[in-house]
Amino acid sequence: MARGTLITIEGLDGAGKSTLAEALQREMASRGVRAELLREPGGVDLAERIRALVKDPSLTVSPRAEALLYAAARAQLVAERLEPLLEEGAVVLLDRFVDSSLAYQGAGRALGVEQVRAINVFATGLLAPDRTLLLRISPDAGRARQRERALEPDRLERENEEFFEAIACAYDELAREEPGRVRVIDASQPAEQVLADALAAVQDLLV
Ligand SMILES: Nc1ncnc2c1ncn2[C@@H]1O[C@H](COP(=O)(O)OP(=O)(O)OP(=O)(O)O)[C@@H](O)[C@H]1O
Ligand SMILES: [Mg+2]
């Protein structure tokens, strides 16, 4: 059976993931490719409720609980939406996926990338993206963009500099380990150039 295409978008807070995801969806539509746009954690009711829990600054959430909550949200998204869409042959644009947990919980929370990978194998049944666009930006630049967006920082966004430095390093390491899947894009560029680079990086999947 024809299998769809899963493209994930990764990077630090404020890198421009959601901006790129929407622009990619529009650009693909203008080329006659209909793409489903989903975000993590979320995309289905259970996962949206878990999103509210993990982001709530008034809650105490241990690192292991945090990793498991993200994995639980992901398991539901895979079962309820991703697997059926990919079975139908859809193109899916997904704003964050397993790599976010490897970087944020594995490195940022120092749980260990391999431990976090293991619970995500359990959660996703080894569903791997066909391509991952890693929007590379310095933590400072990402933070500055978020400030411009002028929303209250959520529970994770309140973390310190070392937390985001560790995440940035982990993302770079993932890109080195899997250069075929993970394509690094300079997210400090203007949005139009980020979009152009992203299109070039997924071109071969859309023909
Ligand atoms: N290439 C760009 N150049 C300048 N500003 C940008 C660029 N891309 C996005 N922005 C702006 O930066 C802010 C953050 O972008 P966006 O919300 O897309 O980031 P994000 O990676 O989805 O963040 P989060 O992880 O918090 O969801 C927004 O105000 C957006 O308009
Ligand atoms: Mg976003």
At 19, the pLDDT band (50, 70, 90 cuts) reads very high
Q: Which residue segment(s) compose the domain that 68 sits in?
A: 5-205
pLDDT band at 1 (very low <50, low <70, confident <90, very high): very low
| Cα dihedral: 26, 28, 32, 33 (round 10) | -120
The amino acid present at 123, given as its one-letter code, is A
166 CA → ligand 1 middle, Å? 20
Q: What is the CATH number of the domain that holds 185?
A: 3.40.50.300
Tell me, yes or no, if the pTM score tops 0.75.
yes
d(CA 103, CA 105): 6
User: Mean of the pLDDT values across residues 154-165?
Assistant: 89
Ligand 1 pocket residues where CB is under 6 Å = 11, 13-19, 145-146, 148-149, 189-191, 194
18 C-alpha to ligand 1 centroid (Å): 7
Average pLDDT, the chain: 95
How many distinct structural domains can be found in the chain? 1
Whether pLDDT at 159 is above 60: yes
Length of the chain: 207
Ligand 1 pocket test target in 97, 145, 167 with most atoms within 8 Å of CB: 145
Compute the Cα dihedral for 193, 95, 106, 122 and give only its sign.
negative
d(CA 37, CA 175): 23
For ligand 1, pick from 8, 9, 10, 19 the residue to mutate: most ligand atoms within 8 Å of CB: 19
